[in-house]
Amino acid sequence: MPLDHPFIPVSRFDDPRIADFRNVKDRDLAGRRGVFIAEGDLVVRRLLTESPLKTRAVLVNPKRAETMSEVLAASAEHTAVYVAEQNVFDDIAGFHLHRGVLAVGERPPERAPAELLESFSGPSMVIVLEDLTNHDNVGGIFRCAAAFGVDGLMLTERCADPFYRKATRVSIGSTLTVPHARAPRAKDAITALHDAGYETIALTPSSDAVEVCQWRRERRKASRLAILLGAEGDGLSRSALKLAGHQVRLGQMVGADSLNVVVAAGVALHALRETPRE
């Protein structure tokens, strides 16, 4: 590793300077001291270069220090970058971590739905997640949201933590760039959306719902739109379905089971962003 890089060598797993990285399996579960762990090249790059969140420190092995040298050197002006050999790196993490790069970021203050909506001006799209407890699904939907230009998400209290390491990894760092808010229940999020002038549509496999492309053609493009998604299995609650302005479904084959919620989200977002056909 070139000596002119402003990186800090670490040779002991119990070095107090890297305490935040120690035993990351416990750290990201406990969520102590208001931090989260980001893992992997793409996620850490996004945290350092695209996210508004503050990075406390980065820990890399020598190989990753070379492949990420440019972005790490730029970040080292305001963020400590520690380098440890792979065996020391694994001892610090508590298991073999072949990706070779971790970062500690600071969690932002939790936003309320109204606060999130006030940050948007003009046309915008929001996703509401009701009681999605699976970290892969939450991370996957954040990734879809980033891909289709969604402005923000609202999560009910029972939803999985989008800053959990697995959710962040599955999202390819999108949980660090797409803003979100927490609402006690779906009805609180829906009420805030209606107060702010949003049209709300609930995605449901019900045969009574309007097919999403038909709804898109008939409604054209709502300037402020929110899509409600429920957990796999139970789907949206009755109260959320009742409060939503519209109920829409995907145009699946008759007799086909419902799709994974991440796939369904991606299909719906594509259909709703697409220019309606004449």
**Residue 190 belongs to some domain of the structure:** yes
Same-domain check for residues 129 and 196: yes
What pLDDT is attached to residue 256? 55
CATH, residue 53: 3.30.1330.30
Same-domain check for residues 126 and 88: no
- Domain C-terminal end among 55, 90, 106: 106
Same-domain check for residues 143 and 259: yes
Same-domain check for residues 139 and 260: yes
Same-domain check for residues 129 and 248: yes
Length of the chain measured in residues: 278
Same-domain check for residues 245 and 154: yes
Same-domain check for residues 128 and 166: yes
- Closest residue by Cα to residue 181 from 202, 144, 151, 209: 151
**Residue 2 belongs to some domain of the structure:** no
What pLDDT is attached to residue 137? 97
Range of the domain at 130: 113-273
What pLDDT is attached to residue 31? 58
- Closest residue by Cα to residue 243 from 210, 205, 211, 202: 202
**Residue 189 belongs to some domain of the structure:** yes
Same-domain check for residues 87 and 185: no
Residue-wise pLDDT tens digits, 26-69? 656 555 578 899 999 999 999 999 999 999 999 999 999 999 99
Same-domain check for residues 96 and 187: no
Same-domain check for residues 87 and 124: no
- Closest residue by Cα to residue 177 from 45, 41, 56, 81: 45
Could you tell me if 21 and 104 are in contact, meaning their C-beta atoms sit under 8 angstroms apart?
yes
What pLDDT is attached to residue 30? 52
In angstroms, the CA 268 to CA 273 distance is 9
What pLDDT is attached to residue 253? 44
Residue carrying the six token digits 């850490």: 44
Same-domain check for residues 152 and 28: no
Domains in the chain: how many in total? Answer: 2
CATH, residue 166: 3.40.1280.10
Averaged over successive runs of 10 residues, the pLDDT of the chain (278 residues) comes to 69 91 69 82 96 95 93 90 93 85 93 96 94 96 97 97 94 97 97 96 90 83 89 90 94 64 94 61
What pLDDT is attached to residue 183? 97
What pLDDT is attached to residue 277? 39
**Residue 257 belongs to some domain of the structure:** yes
Name residues whose C-beta falls within 8 Å of residue 143's C-beta, 6 or more positions apart in sequence.
170, 171, 172, 174
- Closest residue by Cα to residue 140 from 181, 170, 119: 170
Burial 147-175 (b: 16+ CB within 10 A, else e): ebebbbbbbbeebbbbbbbbbbbbbbbbb
What pLDDT is attached to residue 1? 42
Rounded (5°) CA angle 200-205-208: 80
**Residue 278 belongs to some domain of the structure:** no
Same-domain check for residues 267 and 234: yes
Could you tell me if 247 and 206 are in contact, meaning their C-beta atoms sit under 8 angstroms apart?
yes
Q: Which two tokens stand for residue 85?
A: 């050999």
Q: Which two tokens stand for residue 1?
A: 């590793």
